[in-house]
Amino acid sequence: MKMRGDKIASAALLSAFLVISLLSSLPVGRAQQPAWLPVPRDQAVIVETDVDPAVFDKANPFIPGGTQWGSGWHQNVVEWDWYINYITGEYILWRISGWEYRDNFRTFILKIRDGVKWNDGVQYTADDIVFSVNLQKQYFTSSFISLNVESARAIDKLTVEIRLKDPNPRFHHVFRMWGPNGEWVRPKHVWEGKDPLTFANWPPVETGPYKLWKVFPDLKMYVWERVEDYWGKTVHGKFPGPKYVVWRRAPPADVDLADFLRGDVDSPIPFLFTVDMIRTAKASGVPMVEAPFPDPVPFGIQFNMARYPLSLREVRWAIAYLTNKEKVAGLYPVALEGKPAYYMHADWGALKKYEYPDLYEKYKIEYNPAKAEELLKGLGFTKGPDGIWVTPNGTRLSFTITTWGPPSVENLIANVLADELNRFGIEAAVLTPSFATREEMRRTGNFWIDVEVSHLPHGMWISGDIYEGALRHHSKIRGAECGKQFCNPRLDEIVDTLRTRDPEDPANEPLYREIVEMFLRELPYLPVVEKVFHPVFSTKYWVGWPTTDNMYIIPYNWWPQLIFILFELRPAPPPPAPPGPQTVTRVVTQEVVTTVVRGETVVQTVARTIEQVVTREVPVEVVPSWVLPAVAVGIVIGIGGIVAGLLARRRTR
């Protein structure tokens, strides 16, 4: 009996060691599975957010806390009817084929593409839009739709007619990504009969290429699965490469960097993946690409035009001549390379029509202290005995510059400007009040100079229409703020004229030019440095990302245009095979050499050795996705075998 037990124990131990030895000998390739990832690594693209998620069971855009930014719902699940490619300015008509206006812009006709489907397979039709219009008018009376729409009806399954309360040649933008009414078009068959103030819409029914797979609140992670019968595959020929999109809260910087170096994250968030981390990643040689790109609103300076002497255009220009944009760009902390802001708006293809080179040359903004001195002297300003400039009435030039605290770009701009002003003879101090205090200071006009993003691009970049940026400065919009903010009667006239004109009307061009010249001449804002973000992408598992050389779409992973990046992603090719063993063959040959020495011919036989080197390639073996789970099971079996063997031996003694 004891001998039999010994045999069983020995067999169990031998089996266990054989299993473990076999598993340890398996080739380890590219597809290494992170322990925290619930889906195969080589089928998933992993995206990070800087948001700490709190909503894991709702997708209702109509209520506070009804959606979670950075979950992926906005980026790869929701779709809009059309988009603007801000790189090129091209309109991407996605769920629709076009629109038209009738009755002097009082009637809007929208045409839906045939074949668009919600992710539950139901067709997207005119009934969904009509239902959504009526939902807005019933529950959300102050929404853009409620304020502008008289009625809506379905002409047929794919055509909607919307009657407007007033002429509005820009109403089509309500159906655009980030339009003025948000993600408001809802599937009638899902939302009908539901209370939009409480309905969870979970799992969300949308038209995008991904649907919910699972959420992991403890890991602060959302996993979305590709819709295999996604409508865009047949209608547009577009289909995403990754089967899964995993969104997770970015871990601490050291963990995040280590994950990127291992290939455990594909798209880190630029706000947290710092310049130093990018440098480390590049130096390590990991497969990656970069896509630095300017945000739509440059960082800049806002003057309080209600306070003397900043109310004087010449003083604002003098400060502009003392602003060293190149120095700020050289110290820019968010990207490997900063870029001085030249235009009032971002340097985007969609906004190029507002770049008037002759105007920017006429009102050339440059670092030139001599010109600043000339302007102040022209106003009768002089330097006092302490070296500080004073106005003709004896007021010292002394300003505070409010901004965010370090290490923000705004704080960098404020301190560079303060140093230049103090050196020139204008007293300047940087203030970094709390968010609430600063907002109150700006609201009440209790500030001198404020460093923030430039204000003209707000609105205009979203629609690609400068009218939207100018509208923000209409006296009816600004109201009591017209003192400290820029308002102008002529600007009001231009905005009123453009309000009812087709944005594509050639007659608008002189008015667009006049708006740009007005902002350059009066200089209510001074753009200083482009707000450049520096996305990086791992190419260990996926290729096709936007790059500096192939910037086909905005490269920001937090934008809803992410779907157009996912459409381009494809599995990365396997890594190159390592060099195999070499075979060296030496071949000895004889060669007859004839020479002439002192008129006599001499024939010699010379031996030569030739080495032939042959390298045999060794194919790279990549572990299939099923192997690593099998390894885990095998290890458990092996350990169990060892334990069983030891117990069996103990029992036989």
Instruction: Give 4-27 pLDDT, tens digit per residue.
Output: 444 444 444 334 333 433 433 344
**What is the rounded distance in angstroms from the CA atom of residue 187 to the CA atom of residue 164?**
23
> Cα angle vertex 550, ends 548, 552, to 5°?
115
Q: Where are the domains of the chain?
A: 1-28+625-653, 40-77+208-292+535-576, 79-201, 299-533
CA-closest candidate to residue 267, choices 246, 244, 286, 285: 246
**What is the rounded distance in angstroms from the CA atom of residue 77 to the CA atom of residue 209?**
6
Confidence of residue 480 (pLDDT cuts 50, 70, 90): low
Of 448 and 487, which is predicted with more confidence? 448
Amino acid sitting at position 545: W
The pLDDT assigned to 528 comes to 93
**What is the rounded distance in angstroms from the CA atom of residue 175 to the CA atom of residue 184?**
9
Q: According to CATH, what is the number of the domain 299-533?
A: 3.10.105.10
**Mean pLDDT across 305-321:** 95
**Mean pLDDT across 84-91:** 94
Average pLDDT, the chain: 86
The pLDDT assigned to 627 comes to 46
Matching residue, tokens 């050339």 = 364
The pLDDT assigned to 588 comes to 56
Q: What is the pLDDT of residues 271-299, one digit of tens each?
A: 889 999 999 999 999 999 999 998 888 89
Amino acid sitting at position 22: L
Of 601 and 93, which is predicted with more confidence? 93
The two tokens of residue 499 are: 């309000």
Burial class (CB in 10 A: 0-12, 13-18, 19+), 183: buried
The two tokens of residue 315 are: 């003083």
What CATH class is the domain 40-77+208-292+535-576? alpha beta
Pick from 176-180, 238-242, 447-451: least confident: 176-180
**What is the rounded distance in angstroms from the CA atom of residue 103 to the CA atom of residue 101?**
7
Position 351 pLDDT exceeds 90: no
Q: What is the pLDDT of residues 229-253, one digit of tens each?
A: 999 999 999 999 999 999 999 999 9
**What is the rounded distance in angstroms from the CA atom of residue 281 to the CA atom of residue 562?**
23
CA-closest candidate to residue 452, choices 397, 508, 413, 504: 413
The pLDDT assigned to 222 comes to 98
Position 624 pLDDT exceeds 70: no
Position 127 pLDDT exceeds 80: yes
79-201 shares its CATH topology with 299-533: no
The whole-model pTM stands at 0.80
The pLDDT assigned to 78 comes to 96
Position 165 pLDDT exceeds 70: yes
3-state secondary structure of 467: helix
Position 595 pLDDT exceeds 50: yes
Position 309 pLDDT exceeds 50: yes
**What is the rounded distance in angstroms from the CA atom of residue 28 to the CA atom of residue 12?**
27
Position 90 pLDDT exceeds 50: yes
The pLDDT assigned to 142 comes to 81
Pick from 42-46, 197-201, 284-288, 335-339: least confident: 335-339
**What is the rounded distance in angstroms from the CA atom of residue 285 to the CA atom of residue 144?**
50
Pick from 77-86, 319-328, 333-342, 606-615: least confident: 606-615
> What DSSP line would sit under 51-64, residue for residue?
S----SS---TTST
**What is the rounded distance in angstroms from the CA atom of residue 568 to the CA atom of residue 494?**
42
Question: Which span out of 293-297, 445-449, 466-470 was modeled with the highest average pLDDT?
Answer: 445-449
Record: fold of 79-201: Dipeptide-binding Protein; domain 1 (3.90.76)
**Mean pLDDT across 146-155:** 96
Other C-beta atoms closer than 10 Å to the C-beta of 633 total 12
Of 606 and 155, which is predicted with more confidence? 155
CA 402 to chain CA centroid, Å, is: 28
The pLDDT assigned to 301 comes to 93
**What is the rounded distance in angstroms from the CA atom of residue 492 to the CA atom of residue 484?**
17
Q: Where are the alpha helices (DSSP H) in 188-336?
A: 188-191, 232-235, 253-262, 275-284, 313-321, 325-330
**What is the rounded distance in angstroms from the CA atom of residue 400 to the CA atom of residue 422?**
11
Matching residue, tokens 């009667």 = 489
